[in-house]
């Protein structure tokens, strides 16, 4: 009997380790306990799954105290119980997804190379190694894959720039600094299917001619760091990293580096500075990292999800990937539902699904049943979107036209008790806290922003201060060196536009 208990840190944070121990203690017959990643239905964690003839049957959320009762009720055979959720793959949340990047997350043992291969792993790298580097780049270009970190720059064009760059030393750097609030897909992928990222980076290395790669992981993700390091060791042992990868002449070495808790180190040039052992300060662009990157060498910098989307693209062809999605947003996006939402987690599907389908449909609205007042899409620097606009499709252009942004695909839900003026103030506060300090609009503007919001809310020369706030937002948007200062006005402006009443405290 095979029993799966996730080792994902979200599941562990609600007691998955204790549940796993309780199952081993209480099992009345021999079991094989697999610590898988999370399926992404976080409201059901710890979600215990048992192999049955009908498929994997899930029970959740399981507490250690209920394990003996579940075992007595026949959980190990998939029997009925009030916590039984049914065959996991048939649950609407799972059934309705198109999982390419997350195809194996929650299914395989994250550290088993044989499990990885048995579930389609390494097909992409094998296909890539049979192609010339330029053909691999063409395949990625044909897929329409765009940077999943947030900016959405076409991955194939970036790779081509690095391929064309001169010099024997090139690097592949994976940005796993996932600093956006309400996002956790990078972490879940690294904990739940680290080989997928390793495979994607190795394909990138072949495509551009790099021999060394770094994964820059935020320090807040110790479990992901551990999983990646163990997976890298296993990949070396399997001949998937190092010399003569899969018997080819490709050599690629991969290292993990851990950040030190600065949001700005998720900005690619800051991340490179940090990787070089310096303080995380933003570099002016150009030159872009694709030309002058790590240690001044041509460097691919991609987000975890971008690189982890590549194995499927090479395995099944760029065309198949490009058939999914809408307009210029091709393929799938791993959406993350968080905040005040009844059913939070990851939902990977083709671009084009609406905000309403995700938030009120799959997410089930708020846990208390109070109305949703707004969602913030794309992290703390994303715009607030009111329910009137929930018909918008989730794609780069449609959101951009609506003065919002997709970012890293995170959606944070707020109910009607939220004070949107306080949220606007928080955007400035956050920027003041996390600014690298290199340029004035951001370093000084964020501090002045907090003060100005306070004056407006306090009823002090409201019109004058609103004009100052508008000027400040314009200056930060146009004059900041990087997206940190440049995007901070997004939450502020959208809160002002859609919820002006919250800025009129006296009238309330």
**Spatial CB neighbours of 505, under 8 Å, sequence gap ≥ 6:** 421, 457, 458, 459
CA-closest candidate to residue 314, choices 172, 149, 130, 159: 130
The answer to whether 448 contacts ligand SF4 (rule: CB under 6 A) is no
The burial class, CB within 10 Å (0-12 / 13-18 / 19+), for 322 is middle
- Give DSSP secondary structure letters for 38-88: --SBGGG-S-EEEEETTEEEEE-S--GGGHHHHHHTTGGGT---TTEEEEG
**Site for ligand SF4 contains 269 (CB under 6 A):** no
For position 378 contacting ligand NAI by CB under 6 A, the verdict is yes
413: contact with ligand SF4 by CB under 6 A: no
Task: Decide which of ligand NAI, ligand SF4, none touches 289; Cβ closer than 5 to 8 Å per partner kind.
Answer: ligand NAI
> Per DSSP, which regions of 394-492 are E strands?
410-415
- How many other CB atoms are there within 10 angstroms of residue 448's CB atom? 17
Q: Is 435 in the site for ligand SF4 (CB under 6 A)?
A: yes
Cα–Cα distance between 489 and 84 in angstroms, integer? 46
Contact between 180 and ligand NAI per CB under 6 A: yes
**Longest CA span, the chain:** 74
124 vs 182, beta carbon nearer ligand NAI:
182
Which tokens in the block code for residue 461? 């020369």
Q: Between 153 and 390, whose beta carbon lies closer to ligand SF4?
A: 153
Least Å from the CB of residue 454 to ligand NAI: 25
- The CB-of-263 to ligand NAI minimum distance in angstroms stands at 7
Q: In which residue are the tokens 């299917």 written?
A: 193
- The tokens 């690294």 sit on which residue? 190
Binding residues for ligand NAI, total number by CB under 6 A: 26
Give the nearest distance from C-beta 257 to ligand NAI in angstroms. Answer: 17
Q: Does 151 bind ligand NAI (CB under 6 A)?
A: yes
Residues 485 to 504 in contact with ligand SF4, rule: CB under 6 A: 485
Q: Out of ligand SF4, ligand NAI, none, which partner does residue 442 contact, by CB within 5 to 8 A per kind?
A: ligand SF4
156 binds ligand NAI, rule: CB under 6 A:
no
Bridge partners (DSSP) of residue 252 are 242
Cβ neighbourhood burial of 25 (10 Å; 0-12, 13-18, 19+): exposed
# binding residues, ligand SF4 (CB under 6 A): 14
Report the run of H or E that residue 256 belongs to, with start and end. strand 253-258
475 contacts ligand SF4 (rule: CB under 6 A): no
- In 3D, which of 253, 247, 190, 251 has the Cα closest to residue 220? 190
Answer yes or no whether residue 282 interacts with ligand SF4 by CB under 6 A. Answer: yes
CA angle 293, 377, 139 (to 5 degrees): 50
Instruction: Assess 483 for contact with ligand NAI (CB under 6 A).
Output: yes
Could you say which of ligand NAI, ligand SF4, none residue 218 binds, taking C-beta under 5 to 8 angstroms by partner kind?
A: none
Asked if 480 touches ligand SF4 (CB under 6 A), the answer is yes
- Residue 262 interacting with ligand NAI (CB under 6 A): no
Cα three-residue angle 280-284-285, rounded to 5 degrees: 120
Q: Is 268 in the site for ligand NAI (CB under 6 A)?
A: yes
CB of residue 473 vs ligand NAI: minimum separation in angstroms?
17
Residues whose CB falls within 8 Å of the CB of residue 488, separated by 6 or more in sequence, listed in order: 381, 427, 428, 430, 431, 442, 445, 446, 449, 476
Interacting partner of 438 out of ligand SF4, ligand NAI, none (Cβ under 5 to 8 A depending on kind): ligand SF4
Part in contact with ligand NAI (CB under 6 A); list of ranges 145-153, 246-254, 347-355, 489-497 = 145-153
Calculated CA dihedral for residues 357, 8, 55, 313, nearest 10 degrees:
70
User: Measured from the CB of residue 475, what is the shortest distance to ligand SF4 in angstroms?
Assistant: 11
Which one among 61, 110, 259, 289 touches ligand NAI, defined by CB under 6 A? 289
481 binds, among ligand NAI, ligand SF4, none (CB under 5 to 8 A by kind): ligand SF4
182 part of the interface to ligand NAI, by CB under 6 A: no
Span from 22-30, 240-248, 455-463, 477-485 in contact with ligand SF4 (CB under 6 A):
477-485
Neighbours of 387 (CB within 10 A): 17
Residue 332 makes contact with ligand SF4 by CB under 6 A: no
439 interacts with, out of ligand SF4, ligand NAI, none, CB within 5 to 8 A per kind = ligand SF4
Sign of the CA dihedral with 288 first, then 398, 265, and 103 last: negative
Two tokens, residue 172: 């592949």
At 350 the three-state DSSP class reads: strand
**The only residue of 71, 405, 432, 442 in contact with ligand NAI, by rule CB under 6 A:** 405
DSSP 336-349: EEEES-SS-EEEEE
Please give the residue ranges that form the binding site for ligand NAI (CB under 6 A). Answer: 147, 149-151, 153, 157-158, 161, 178-180, 183, 266-268, 288-290, 301, 378-379, 405, 407-408, 482-483
Please give the residue ranges that form the binding site for ligand SF4 (CB under 6 A). Answer: 264, 282, 435-439, 442-443, 480-482, 484-485
């Amino acid at each position: 009997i095979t029993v799966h208990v996730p080792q994902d840190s979200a599941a562990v944070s609600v007691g998955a380790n204790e549940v796993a121990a309780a199952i081993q203690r209480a099992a009345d017959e021999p079991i094989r306990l697999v610590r898988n990643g999370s399926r992404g239905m976080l409201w059901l964690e710890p979600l215990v799954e048992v192999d049955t003839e009908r498929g994997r049957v899930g029970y959740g959320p399981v507490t250690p105290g209920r394990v003996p009762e579940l075992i007595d009720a026949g959980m190990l055979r998939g029997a009925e119980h009030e916590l039984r959720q049914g065959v996991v793959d048939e649950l609407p949340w799972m059934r309705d997804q198109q999982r390419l990047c997350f195809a194996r997350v929650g299914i395989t043992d994250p550290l088993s190379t044989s499990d990885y291969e048995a579930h389609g792993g390494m097909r992409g790298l094998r296909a890539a190694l049979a192609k010339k580097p330029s053909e691999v780049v063409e395949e990625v270009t044909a897929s329409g894959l765009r940077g999943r970190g947030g900016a959405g720059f076409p991955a194939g064009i970036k790779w081509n720039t690095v391929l064309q760059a001169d010099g024997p030393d090139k690097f592949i750097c994976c940005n796993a600094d996932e600093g956006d609030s309400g996002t956790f897909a990078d972490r879940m992928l690294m904990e739940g299917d680290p080989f997928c990222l390793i495979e994607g980076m190795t394909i990138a290395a072949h495509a551009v001619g790099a021999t060394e790669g770094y994964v820059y992981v935020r320090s807040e993700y110790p479990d992901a760091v551990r999983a990646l390091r163990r997976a890298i060791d296993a990949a070396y042992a399997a001949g998937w990293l190092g010399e003569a990868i899969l018997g080819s002449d490709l050599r690629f070495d991969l290292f993990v580096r851990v950040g030190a808790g600065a949001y700005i180190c998720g900005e690619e040039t800051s991340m490179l500075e940090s990787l070089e052992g310096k303080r995380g300060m933003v570099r002016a662009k150009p030159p872009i990292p694709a030309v002058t990157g790590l240690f001044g060498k041509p460097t691919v910098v991609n987000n975890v999800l971008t690189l982890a989307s590549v194995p499927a693209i090479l395995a099944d062809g760029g065309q198949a990937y490009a058939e999914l999605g809408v307009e210029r947003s091709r393929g799938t996006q791993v959406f993350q539902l968080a905040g005040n939402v009844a059913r939070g987690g990851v939902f990977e599907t083709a671009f084009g699904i609406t905000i309403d389908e995700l938030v009120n449909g799959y997410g089930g609205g708020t846990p208390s049943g109070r109305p949703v007042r707004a969602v913030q899409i794309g992290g703390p620097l994303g715009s607030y979107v009111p329910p009137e606009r929930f018909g918008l499709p989730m794609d780069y252009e449609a959101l951009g036209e609506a003065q919002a942004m997709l970012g890293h695909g995170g959606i944070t839900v707020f109910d009607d008790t939220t004070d949107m003026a306080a949220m606007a103030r928080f955007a400035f506060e956050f920027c003041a806290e996390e600014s690298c300090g290199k340029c004035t609009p951001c370093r000084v503007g964020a501090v002045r922003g907090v003060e100005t919001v306070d004056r407006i809310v306090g009823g002090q020369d409201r019109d004058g201060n609103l004009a100052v706030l508008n000027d400040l937002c314009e200056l930060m948007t146009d004059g900041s060196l990087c997206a940190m200062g440049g995007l901070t006005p997004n939450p502020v402006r959208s809160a002002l536009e859609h919820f002006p009443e919250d800025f009129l405290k006296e009238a309330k």
